[in-house]
């Protein structure tokens, strides 16, 4: 049911159905990753918990309305319930489609993450700018055997939606990875390969590793002339004796 | 009401870097995106819309070989400049309305303390091409490599240094011998 619904809505919502483009350039390694299917289960569990709380609140409200016997309040409950049902359905659909739209492109020089359904965000960064890499795992995530890999670049600011990097600059979150440690090792090895610059746009890193300085040919020629001249000077001094 | 004062409005389609360097104005559909945004404010829509209206009409971009600048505003003027080398990450964001209108926002982050983007290129029609243009100017998009034959150069430099030292040694020897000869004649 979900797949049919998504296929019919994909065009209306204009969501991208293909994986994100790999950043332009040539790479030693390109890997396109998805969140684990267990991440979907985990997200749906969160949705069901929220829905259960909504149902309890609704049931209490319904009982109190019918106990009060107010006819207008009873009539009003119908559209309110319909609206709540629609909202829940929308939320469920968003949880499902968020999982389908999620892509992580890991190359040996850059990282690109796509996420979000209302706002489709694609974040690109190069390892030259990576400041730190961390793994985050909550108790429920541990139960499901998944964790998030967060890659930070320099810069700060308040974190408005910690679970959604779409809202926050300066970091990307690879959510719901089954083997976050392996991806972390891979990212760290790429960062190391890149070299150890501060990642703050140092203008001098444009200068590549340079060779030892060559002597100007004139210096050697002058030294040879000086040697010949000193030899003649010695010979003159010896003959004058 | 005309919402398109500039004949050069919008991102040209296709083309290479030249078409991106030529971008000075957002796509006209940004106007409708702003209109839709202000509708979210319901009864406050007119209040929200007025600054966005002026922002749309005064928004100017300039991309050159060094960096990007953007300026907007009529009462409160804003101007942002940044260089490509300082870009930390690039985000392309498209909300539902932007996707319907066929435009996108390219957000450029530098290492400053704010959590929001330092510069947003709003109303980009060819947002992916703009992103790749910026990406190719970012640090680290290609691997830093030593120039070809760097090792040979280093070896040659060292050999020359040794030859110079040998020559200087010989000169010293000649001068010492000459001094001894002169001293012997005097003494």
**Residue B86 Cα distances to A125, A200, B22, B66, B81, angstroms:** 12, 7, 22, 10, 11
A125 and A6 part of one domain = yes
Average pLDDT per block of 10 residues along chain A, 241 residues long: 85 87 86 94 94 91 84 84 91 92 92 92 91 92 94 72 56 92 93 71 51 76 91 86 60
Cβ A109–B116 below 8 Å, yes or no? Answer: no
- Dihedral of CA A65/A69/A70/A74: which sign? positive
Same domain for A178 and A219, yes or no, is: no
Residue A123: inside a domain? yes
Considering the domain architecture, whether residues A222 and A167 belong to the same structural domain is answered as: no
Report yes or no on A201 lying in a domain.
Answer: no
| Phi, psi (degrees; rounded to nearest 5) at A103 | -140, 140
Output the pLDDT for position B4.
42
- A73 and A151, same domain (yes or no): yes
Residue A140 within any structural domain of the chain: yes
Task: Say if residue A144 is in the same domain as residue A221.
Answer: no
> Cβ of A220 and B146 within 8 Å?
no
Report how many domains make up chain A.
Answer: 2
- Answer yes or no: is A203 within a domain: no
| B62 shares contact with chain A (CB less than 8 Å) | no
**Model pLDDT, residue A145:** 94
Residues A129, A75: one domain? yes
ipTM of this complex prediction, to 2 decimal places: 0.74
The percentage of chain B sitting over the pLDDT mark of 90, rounded to a whole number, equals: 50
Backbone angle region of B93, left / alpha / beta, with phi > 0 → left and psi within -120 to 50 → alpha: beta
Which of A115-119, A199-203, B11-15, B96-100 comes out lowest in average pLDDT?
B11-15
Whether residue A151 sits in one domain with residue A123: yes
CA A219, distance to chain mean position in Å, is 54
Task: Give B156-182 pLDDT, tens digit per residue.
Answer: 888 888 889 999 999 999 999 998 888
Range of the domain at A27: 2-194
Same structural domain, A218 and A151: no
Q: Which residue of A has its CA nearest to B99?
A: A14
Say whether A212 and B112 touch across the interface (CB within 8 A).
no
Instruction: Kindly indicate the confidence band of residue B40, based on its pLDDT and cuts at 50, 70 and 90.
Output: confident
pTM of the model: 0.74
| Sign of the alpha-carbon dihedral angle for B87, B91, B97, B103 | positive
- A183 and A133 co-located in one domain: yes
Tell me the chain A residues in contact with residue B113 when contact means C-beta distances shorter than 8 Å: 155-157
**Is A139 part of a structural domain of the chain?**
yes
Torsion of CA B149, B152, B154, B159, to 10 degrees: -160
Q: In the prediction, which pLDDT does B61 show?
A: 95
Q: Would A116 be classed as within a structural domain?
A: yes
Of A118, A154, A237, the CB nearest to B95: A118
CB contact under 8 A, A155 and B135: no
Query: Smallest CA–CA separation between B125 and chain A, in Å?
Result: 15
Is residue B114 classed exposed, middle or buried when 0-12, 13-18 and 19+ CB atoms within 10 A define those classes?
Answer: middle
Q: Do residues A144 and A233 both lie within one domain? A: no
């Amino acid at each position: 049911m979900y797949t049919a619904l998504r296929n019919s809505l994909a065009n209306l919502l204009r969501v991208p159905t293909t994986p994100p483009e790999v950043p332009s350039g040539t790479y030693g390694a390109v890997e396109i990753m998805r969140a684990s299917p267990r991440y979907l289960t985990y997200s749906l569990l969160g949705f069901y918990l929220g829905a259960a709380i909504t149902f309890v609140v609704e049931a209490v409200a319904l009982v109190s309305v019918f106990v009060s016997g107010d006819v207008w309040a009873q009539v009003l409950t119908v559209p309110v319930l319909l609206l709540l049902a629609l909202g829940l359905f929308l939320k469920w659909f968003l949880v499902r489609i968020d999982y389908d739209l999620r892509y992580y492109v890991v190359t040996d020089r850059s990282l690109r993450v796509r996420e979000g359904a209302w706002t489709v965000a694609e974040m690109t960064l190069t390892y030259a700018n990576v400041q730190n890499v961390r793994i985050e795992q909550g108790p429920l995530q541990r139960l499901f055997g998944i964790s998030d890999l967060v890659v930070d670049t320099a810069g700060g600011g308040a974190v408005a939606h910690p679970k959604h990097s779409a809202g926050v600059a300066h970091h990307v979150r690879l959510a719901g990875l089954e083997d976050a440690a392996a991806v972390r090792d891979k990212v760290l090895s790429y960062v190391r390969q890149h070299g150890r610059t501060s990642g703050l746009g140092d203008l001098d890193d444009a200068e590549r590793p340079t060779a030892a300085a060559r002597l100007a040919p004139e210096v050697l020629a002058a030294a040879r002339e000086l040697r010949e001249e000193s030899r003649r000077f010695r010979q003159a001094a010896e003959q004058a004796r | 009401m005309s919402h398109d004062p500039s004949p050069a409005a919008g991102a040209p389609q296709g083309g290479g870097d030249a078409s991106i360097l030529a971008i000075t104005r957002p796509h006209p559909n940004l106007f409708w995106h702003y209109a839709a945004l202000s509708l979210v404010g319901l009864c406050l829509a007119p209040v929200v819309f007025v600054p966005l209206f002026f922002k749309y009409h005064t928004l100017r971009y300039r991309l050159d070989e060094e960096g990007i600048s953007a300026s907007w505003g009529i009462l409160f003027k804003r101007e942002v400049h940044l260089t490509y080398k300082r870009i930390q990450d690039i985000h392309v964001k498209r909300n539902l309305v932007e996707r319907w209108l066929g435009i996108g926002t390219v957000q450029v982050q530098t290492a400053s303390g704010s959590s929001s983007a330092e510069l947003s290129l709003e109303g980009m029609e060819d947002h992916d091409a703009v992103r790749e243009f910026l990406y190719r100017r970012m640090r680290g998009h290609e691997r830093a490599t030593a120039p070809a034959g760097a090792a040979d150069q280093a070896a040659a430099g060292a050999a020359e240094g040794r030859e110079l030292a040998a020559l200087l040694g010989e000169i010293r020897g000649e001068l010492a011998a000459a001094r001894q000869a002169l001293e012997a004649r005097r003494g």
